[in-house]
Structure 1
């Protein structure tokens, strides 16, 4: 064979190899594409927030937390079988009162939030959850702490003063300018019976401000907050 013939044969073989390789890649892509679509459809997008339900609705769904509806008990609380207004069967966990009073239940938030995002056959999704944690808590994922509990307690104080619910962290952004600007007439719940001496309410607002506005290291301890609130109760 001459040099030109060998060159032509080599080019033809190379072209055939490229065509075969392209065909194989095309078949692989076509076969894998439906699988990817199925996986995307099978995995729902996780939601970072859960719905809240009125206590009256939960009370009705559990027949006033009837003992006959108890399906489980643990050190954290009691689980009841409940039927929601739309006929959906759910499990409602009622936290023990002593945990709510002693810890405000805030250390449970991390575990329940992660459970609501879990995709596992043995983990049920969380339907409703009330959270009072800082944005930094979720961003840095350092876990629960005493400072996080103080922040959550400050949000509760703001809810009591304003008569509003905290939803998606908007309570703090709305209330802080009002407290700093001493615009308590805009902050306070109009349904409140305002006493003749409003100083206790002003101090209560400042306590809430200290709990939610300061940095993590500069927040008061819950013992300091409790001492101030006890003094307010005596002088109210």
Structure 2
């Protein structure tokens, strides 16, 4: 973009965290674990970002809450682009996986996805030499501003079941990208909440590249909940 190289997944992928902090404390009858840290991404005469991440989990339930605070602490507007890789593999992923993506508008984004029309929710075991499929999902969030995805494998562990719930704040992550690769040795399906589905240069050219104003801060929130049985899965799907 503008003659600059950012590398795979951006420069932040190669930066170390600082101000690392962890704690554990009782909150009523529950015990809360917290770990957090800060990453600075700074380029002289360009941008100055600060990323703060806090991860929280509870003793009482198999849940992980990731809260990211992203701040432009520079004195000029700076581009905001982010994508979260959530890669699902075995044992949740196999030919029995069922995925619930409520209220989404789904668009195939590469030739393989277009060729296998409406196969984004169909899965097989690992096969030889499969090409990847790429899809874009767009949503209207729920009344609290969240999007929820449910992945379940009802036949795992002698039909006891296993699943995962992914719930995230929609406001700053309006797109969900699905990257599906079911090949031997490369067997996964990735669900990626994102601020954009196009690259930075294309966004800039179309004049819809989002900018964070000086000292503007946004928050992204993603909750992961393991659903350890079909009973817990039904509790998430059936009100």
TM value normalised by structure 2: 0.27
Relative contact order, higher structure (CA 8 A, sep 6+)? 2
Larger Rg: 1
| Bigger share in strand | 2
More helix by share: 1
